[in-house]
Structure 1
């Protein structure tokens, strides 16, 4: 099985997300706060893919399998699960409600931005390939 490598644009994008501590061409290190929040939301019945998308982590960029594996790994982490179970619900204030509502669209926007970057990389590669074919290069 080969690991998909992240493009330079994907790495730059992922590094901008608060849910990410570090990124290499093949690895992502998630912020501990994200891991705990993710599992808190998972325990409340939210779907893993929806949680990741709301954080700007589209499956089209990081892959569905990576999401599944993270959830499985974090489920086995007693510290994460204990903190996720203890984590209080957000306060029901106007400010907190506004922040919670604005996070989801921002995550979707970030996810769409990343998808555009991925597609832009693919278009660049295809344009390069077409140019080579026009010049008579062999593939």
Structure 2
């Protein structure tokens, strides 16, 4: 988890993404369907940054490198 805190403006922006279930000032909960599709795309050769960008995320905002998120999701 990132040490950054999301402002209310950033939380509203995250809330508008269809791949987000919930967000707090400290964390983002992604939809399980997005996680599964992201891992499948990664296994098919897509780059982590590309997967998150195509899903509508601003990587500078979410504060976690997509590669770390995918690594955790693949382990599960």
Runs of 5+ unmatched residues, structure 1 = 78-139
For the aligned residue pairs, the C-alpha RMSD in angstroms reads 1.3
The C-alpha deviation readout for 1:42-95, integer Å capped at 9, x for no partner, is: 010000011001111111111243x23211111101xxxxxxxxxxxxxxxxxx
**Counterpart position of 2:55:** 55
Structure showing greater radius of gyration is 1
**Between Structure 1 and Structure 2, which shows a larger proportion of helix residues?**
1
Structure 1 residues 39-78: aligned runs within 5 Å: 39-65=39-65, 67-77=66-76
1:30 equivalent to 2:30? Answer yes
Gaps of 5+ in 2: none
User: Which residue does 2:20 correspond to in 1?
Assistant: 20
The TM-score with structure 2 as length reference comes to: 0.90
Contact kept? 2:20, 2:30, Cα under 8 Å = yes
Q: Secondary structure at the match of 1:29?
A: strand
Paired with 1:27 and 1:13, the residues of 2 have a C-alpha distance of 14
Deviation at 1:28, TM superposition (A): 0.4
In structure 1, how many angstroms separate the alpha carbons of the residues matched to 2:14 and 2:33? 16
| Larger fraction in strand | 2
Contact map agreement 2:4 2:63 (CA 8 A) in 1: no
TM-score if structure 1 supplies the norm length?
A: 0.51
* Other structure's SS at 2:21 match: strand
